[in-house]
């Protein structure tokens, strides 16, 4: 039986998901969606439904809205025993929120699933030893970062937590690295008025050796702040959940 999916947030990722479902690239069925602007759900032919009502209908809930949406709905989704796919992973850097959601997850056996998003190598990042140091250098078109610069410029340098606070819609990759590694991740953000892609360069060093991963992402067709790879990552995760694969690779 095809699994039923509900989506919180009817923006960029929602549009990509609906297109994937219509083309047969998404294995599950998007049966409902919720957004503060009801018409954003319905204009793509997906029934609008409050999150509370959604929980009696779906098997999987996707958060594709904001950090605030994770804080507002994470507890009730997991309490209802529904798997919760989180795209705004920056929310999970809130220690109290993360611990509470994990507690509920253990009780209900509903899972909190975080796709790899706009980067790769998360399996290796999770395996790094205690002495490893991690840095990510993110370069984005300056307009998507909301800054006006005439040339390539470093506009932020600090920790992943600080980066998420300053750029809550642009630094989910830094939050994911921090959670996957369990370490403080150094972050540098570069605004480039001439950049065409979102680029993430991850540098790891320690007793294991040295690893460098560079990903140059095309922006999503509906929101240049989001990398298209993040949308594809979400589709892949949902397909794995819907197909209940018995061979799990790269975890």
Domain locations along the chain: 4-114+230-243, 122-217
Is the Cβ–Cβ distance between 181 and 123 less than 8 Å? no
pLDDT of residue 250: 54
Q: Which CATH superfamily is domain 4-114+230-243 in?
A: NAD(P)-binding Rossmann-like Domain (3.40.50.720)
Res 248: pLDDT: 59
**Marked catalytic residue, from 200, 229, 241, 242:** 200
Q: Give residue-wise pLDDT tens across range 173-228.
A: 999 999 999 999 999 999 999 999 999 999 999 999 999 999 999 999 888 888 99
4 token code pair? 């039923």
* Cβ burial, residue 182 (10 Å; 0-12/13-18/19+): exposed
> What's the CATH number for 122-217?
3.30.360.10
> Any catalytic annotation for residue 212?
no
185 within 8 A of 125, measured Cβ to Cβ = no
Q: CA 185 to CA 202: how far, in whole Å? A: 10
Residue 244: predicted pLDDT: 74
Question: What pLDDT, on the 0 to 100 scale, is given for residue 36?
Answer: 93
Task: Give the model's pLDDT for residue 247.
Answer: 66
3-state class of 236 per DSSP? helix
Report, as ranges of residue numbers, the positions in the chain whose pLDDT lies below 50: none
Q: What angle do CA 70, 72, 73 make, to 5 degrees?
A: 70
pTM above 0.85, yes or no: yes
Residue 207 confidence (pLDDT): 97
pLDDT at 245: 67
pLDDT at 182: 93
Residue 249's pLDDT is what? Answer: 61
What's the pLDDT at 6? 98
């Amino acid at each position: 039986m095809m699994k039923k999916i509900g989506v919180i947030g009817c923006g960029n990722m929602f549009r990509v998901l609906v297109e994937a479902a219509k083309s047969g690239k998404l294995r599950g069925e998007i049966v409902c969606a919720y957004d503060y602007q009801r018409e954003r759900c319905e204009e793509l032919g997906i029934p609008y439904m409050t999150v509370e009502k959604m929980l009696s209908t779906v098997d999987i809930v996707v958060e594709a809205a904001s950090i605030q949406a994770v804080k507002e709905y994470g507890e009730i989704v997991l309490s209802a025993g529904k798997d919760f796919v989180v795209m705004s992973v920056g929310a999970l850097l809130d220690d109290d929120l993360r611990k509470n959601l994990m507690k509920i997850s253990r009780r209900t056996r509903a899972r909190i699933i975080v796709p790899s998003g706009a980067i790769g190598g998360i399996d290796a990042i999770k395996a790094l030893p205690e002495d490893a140091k991690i840095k990510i250098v993110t370069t984005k078109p300056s307009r998507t970062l909301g800054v006006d610069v005439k040339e390539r410029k470093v506009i932020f340098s600090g920790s992943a937590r600080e980066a998420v606070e300053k750029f809550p819609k642009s630094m989910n990759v830094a939050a994911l690295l921090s959670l996957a590694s369990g370490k403080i991740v150094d972050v540098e953000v570069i605004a480039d008025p001439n950049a065409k892609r979102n680029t993430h360069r991850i540098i790891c060093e320690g007793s294991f050796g040295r690893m460098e991963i560079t990903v140059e992402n095309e922006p999503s067709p509906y929101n240049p702040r989001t990398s298209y790879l993040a949308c594809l990552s979400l589709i892949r995760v949902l397909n794995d959940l819907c197909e209940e694969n018995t061979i799990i690779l790269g975890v």
